[in-house]
Structure 1
Amino acid sequence: MAVRVGAAAVVLGTTAAMVPGQASATVGQASATAEQASGTPSPYAFAPGAQRVQGARSTGDADLLKPGQAYKSSLPGNGKVNYRLDLDATSNAYVSVTAVPSPDSTVSVIDGVKVTVQDAEGNTCSDDNTSFGAARSPHPVAAWGMREISPNRPLCKKAGAYYVSVERIDPEGEGSSPDAWDLELLAMSEPRTVRTGATSAPEAWNSATPQPLQGEPEHRKGGAGFTGATPLDQGVWRDDIRPGQTLFYEVPVDWGQQISVTADLGSSATGATGYTSDALNLALYNPARGDVADVGVGYDGGQKSGSLRPLPPVDHANRFAATAQVSAMRFAGSYYLVAHLSEGVADTFGDGPFKMTLRVTVSGEPQGGPEYAGESVPQGVFEVSDEDREAAAEGVAAGDDTAMRVLAVGGIGTGSALLVGLGVWSLVARRRSVA
């Protein structure tokens, strides 16, 4: 949900009273931003306020994940770790797991992360996995799990304990190192609809490959994590990306709207020759951070381009589709674009930076969505607000400008106080604060 003016004013007005832990967290956020500005690839930026939780080997010891709260955990090189969800009998629940290997680790072609949700009786409600692909370049990847209340799913409808298991796909594969990976976990809940709607996906939608949007590119610097993703709307956007770096963007897509994206990678300035398969990977995730689609762009030093395959308009009934890509386009909200440039590019073409252009098209007029019988958690995550649209147009998180004005009026006089204040500004301005 967008941060309101009052919330920003209260938090910034009490900056001096922050506890030391909060101050260090915000300073760390500012340091990550400074590292990005310097052009050095930064590691994944975890959500501010993420709680540390230990994954359990046995479901009997699994710690609880509460919807709306971000968690940080660890995935060992081998074996599963488990977490618990306590669910009612009416709401849909989603949990996203972002795996973050260290930059100096090695991964196989099929290695990645797998997420499974089961009920207390051992029935599987869902499973999903995401891999690193042919580039074998370690970077943040996300997979999701879900418990759906649906007439098409006879199991997993009871209230009670459910278990989320996380594991590596290929921990002993050729080229994989047994390092532990960091994890970011976020659970969300979606209330039931007031009225019973369609129980099958729309049969017809425009599946023609759209023409990439043309125009002069405008610079937008990508964020270093889901929470800090840079807002984009329809347009042509330019950014610098270095080998091994991953950049995050978010695009508001409302009910009835269709998103299409093309990524261009500019030619190398070194004149070197060679080839890196899947050098640029562009992935699209939905508002629950569930993977929707991706495209890999090979690179030989000349300009290259790749587009996400056509996706349907956002529709509540898409969840009944047999195809995972269509099913994932099930709710409105912020859709995340995650771009990664393979570390292998540096071996042949140097450290860059390389020019990346994103051509983003959001077609169709916003339509009314389903009437929910309650609020989602986090609140507003499955909708597009006016603040979201404004943020996408301006390229800053909703509330940033207001918070900055409040900070200036507050008259913070010292450099250290300003640094902490800027950290709080960044924290409270995030559109979907999960802390």
Structure 2
Amino acid sequence: MSVKRQRATGRTAGGRTTGARAARTRVAGALAAAACAAALLPGTAWAAGDGGGYAFEDGAQPVQGAVSHLDAEQLRPGKTYRDTIKKDGKLYYRVDLDAKQNAYVSVVAVPKTGGKVAYGDGIKVSMRDGSNNRCGSQEADFGSAEFARPITAYADRTIDPDSSTCREQGAYYVLVERDSAKESDPADWELEIRFRTEPGLTKAGPTALPSNWPSATPAPPTGGPQRRDGGAGFGAATSLKQGEWRTDIRPGQTLIYRVPVDWGQQLFVRAELGSSPASDEYLSHALALSLENQVLGHVSRDTMTYSGDPATMALQPERPVAYENRFSGNYSTSAVRFAGWYYVSATLSPAVAKEYGDKPLPLTLRVNLTGQPKDGPAYDGPAGSFAVTDDDRDAAASGQSGPQAARSDTMKVVGVAGIGAGGVLLLGLGAWWLLARRSTA
């Protein structure tokens, strides 16, 4: 009889309720699941690189360049890859193109931090069709600022209505070449490789550049500096809008920012290094400033001298962003060929540490955007990243990096994720309370 009663009431010999225990177990599982669900919701925390080295894009896939184009691995549109290149090395990659889209393969070359580089050291990236006709190429080197830092170059296949080459559908080959002086560091350089495609046009647009364009530098932005620290890689670049932006930069460190530049707009960038009481030694090329377009094609660069007093520099003005710029023979003009994110990188020479110590120096970037945004070209498909969106402007205002902005977009899509997580927890607690009441009863 007692056994039957125990089974009927669910009570054990010790007086504990097995039904309540099971209920609590179920609730604990539900609460654990709710906690896990909340933990998996998109967040806003993101850890940037420590500035001591380059931060490669998350999810970049390994690829191995070939010494012969016939053995080249295929790159996929929209993907980012990683590889290494030896001193004076040559590597081939393959891309399959249609007869409509423009195509771009960019390479970020990342030498070993602190490694020795010479004036002409650098990379050359070229794209060729199956008949070995060169479609487009670009070279990048360290110039007079002979210290190791990330440098970029790209190769393109541009559909040119006045040219019959490089227009066919089929396999194209990208050749990456490294040049290094005899006395330079022989260590391998790491490569970050991107393959991007731009939609074709529904109808041909203008190919001739206007003879006149606004080249006067605007007055610096007002309102005072705001704090915004740069990213350690192009994939982690900190977003900026027009304004005055303050950070600190250590010798040997590279900081990377991005600015959304729409069709018809011009980007102007100035940099200022703050004073240092540590020394008054004159250093040429103390700061290197570089500008890249949204597919990481190189646009322009300059360097700044420093002697302990405040020092300023400005990148040369470029034409307003326009589709027809791509048909210019000037590589800087050709590079401002589409709207999107433009990247600004600043590197402080390691030589600064010897004279001024290894502490950071104050750095201010002054960014101007002039010109009213215009309609883009008549693409025959979605513009994708070759446009500036309201979300891009929001990211620039808030300072979000690309990964942060992507997570923010995810939050917008789910909308009620935060409320949902709280709801799941409240439901779990409610279920626990009801089961506890039922067990007590």
Give the alignment's TM-score, normalised by structure 2.
0.81
User: Match for 2:210 among 159, 184, 202?
Assistant: 202
**Aligned 8 A contact 1:99 1:140 in 2:** yes
The letter of the residue matching 2:122 is G
Change (3 A) 1:409 1:222: farther
Aligned to 2:321: 314
User: Match for 1:356 among 360, 363, 368?
Assistant: 363
- Spell out the pairing of 1:50-199 with structure 2 (5 A cutoff): 50-169=60-179, 171-173=180-182, 175-199=183-207
The letter of the residue matching 1:172 is A
Aligned to 2:305: 298
User: Match for 2:264 among 252, 256, 260?
Assistant: 256
Aligned to 2:17: none
Aligned to 2:291: 284
The letter of the residue matching 2:330 is T
Give, in whole Å, the separation in 1 of the partners of 2:52 and 2:357. Answer: 18
Using the TM superposition, give the Cα deviation of residue 399 of structure 1 relative to its aligned residue in structure 2, in angstroms.
5.0
Aligned to 2:248: 240
Using the TM superposition, give the Cα deviation of residue 209 of structure 1 relative to its aligned residue in structure 2, in angstroms.
2.9
The letter of the residue matching 1:200 is A
The letter of the residue matching 2:257 is Y
**Aligned 8 A contact 1:135 1:344 in 2:** no
DSSP 3-state at the match of 2:236: coil
The letter of the residue matching 2:108 is T
Aligned to 2:389: 385
The letter of the residue matching 2:323 is H
DSSP 3-state at the match of 1:105: coil
The letter of the residue matching 1:356 is L
The letter of the residue matching 2:166 is C
Give, in whole Å, the separation in 1 of the partners of 2:38 and 2:105. Answer: 33
**Aligned 8 A contact 2:90 2:175 in 1:** yes
Give, in whole Å, the separation in 1 of the partners of 2:100 and 2:325. Answer: 19
Aligned to 2:343: 336
Using the TM superposition, give the Cα deviation of residue 322 of structure 1 relative to its aligned residue in structure 2, in angstroms.
2.0
Give, in whole Å, the separation in 2 of the partners of 1:401 and 1:269. Answer: 42
DSSP 3-state at the match of 1:60: helix
Give, in whole Å, the separation in 2 of the partners of 1:164 and 1:402. Answer: 34
Using the TM superposition, give the Cα deviation of residue 325 of structure 1 relative to its aligned residue in structure 2, in angstroms.
1.1
Percent identical among aligned pairs is: 45
Aligned to 1:222: 230
DSSP 3-state at the match of 2:58: coil
Using the TM superposition, give the Cα deviation of residue 300 of structure 1 relative to its aligned residue in structure 2, in angstroms.
1.3
**Aligned 8 A contact 1:202 1:317 in 2:** no
**Aligned 8 A contact 1:202 1:318 in 2:** no
**5+ long unaligned stretches in structure 2:** 1-35, 423-441
Give, in whole Å, the separation in 1 of the partners of 2:243 and 2:306. Answer: 24
Give, in whole Å, the separation in 2 of the partners of 1:222 and 1:104. Answer: 20
Which deviations, in whole Å up to 9, do the C-alpha atoms of 1:234-256 show, x marking residues without a partner?
00000111011111111001111
**Aligned 8 A contact 1:133 1:278 in 2:** no
User: Match for 2:382 among 370, 375, 378?
Assistant: 375
The letter of the residue matching 2:218 is P
Change (3 A) 1:120 1:367: same
Using the TM superposition, give the Cα deviation of residue 125 of structure 1 relative to its aligned residue in structure 2, in angstroms.
1.0
**Aligned 8 A contact 1:79 1:168 in 2:** yes
User: Match for 1:326 among 330, 333, 342?
Assistant: 333
**Aligned 8 A contact 1:78 1:178 in 2:** no
Give, in whole Å, the separation in 2 of the partners of 1:68 and 1:400. Answer: 18
Which deviations, in whole Å up to 9, do the C-alpha atoms of 1:297-326 show, x marking residues without a partner?
111111110001111111111111221111
Is structure 2 residue 269 aligned with structure 1 residue 265?
no
**Aligned 8 A contact 1:201 1:321 in 2:** yes
DSSP 3-state at the match of 2:333: helix
Aligned to 2:54: 44
**Aligned 8 A contact 1:212 1:261 in 2:** no
Aligned to 2:30: none
**Aligned 8 A contact 1:118 1:124 in 2:** yes
**Aligned 8 A contact 2:133 2:166 in 1:** yes
**Aligned 8 A contact 1:210 1:310 in 2:** no
* RMSD of aligned Cα (Å): 2.3
**Aligned 8 A contact 2:111 2:188 in 1:** yes
Q: Does 64-73 or 393-402 show the bigger shift?
A: 393-402
The letter of the residue matching 1:178 is P
The letter of the residue matching 1:187 is F
Using the TM superposition, give the Cα deviation of residue 103 of structure 1 relative to its aligned residue in structure 2, in angstroms.
0.4
Give, in whole Å, the separation in 1 of the partners of 2:126 and 2:312. Answer: 34
The letter of the residue matching 1:236 is E
Which deviations, in whole Å up to 9, do the C-alpha atoms of 1:151-204 show, x marking residues without a partner?
2333111111111111112x234x311111110000110111111111212222
Give, in whole Å, the separation in 2 of the partners of 1:202 and 1:325. Answer: 16
The letter of the residue matching 2:236 is G
Which deviations, in whole Å up to 9, do the C-alpha atoms of 1:116-155 show, x marking residues without a partner?
1111111111121111122211011110000111123331
**Aligned 8 A contact 2:264 2:374 in 1:** yes
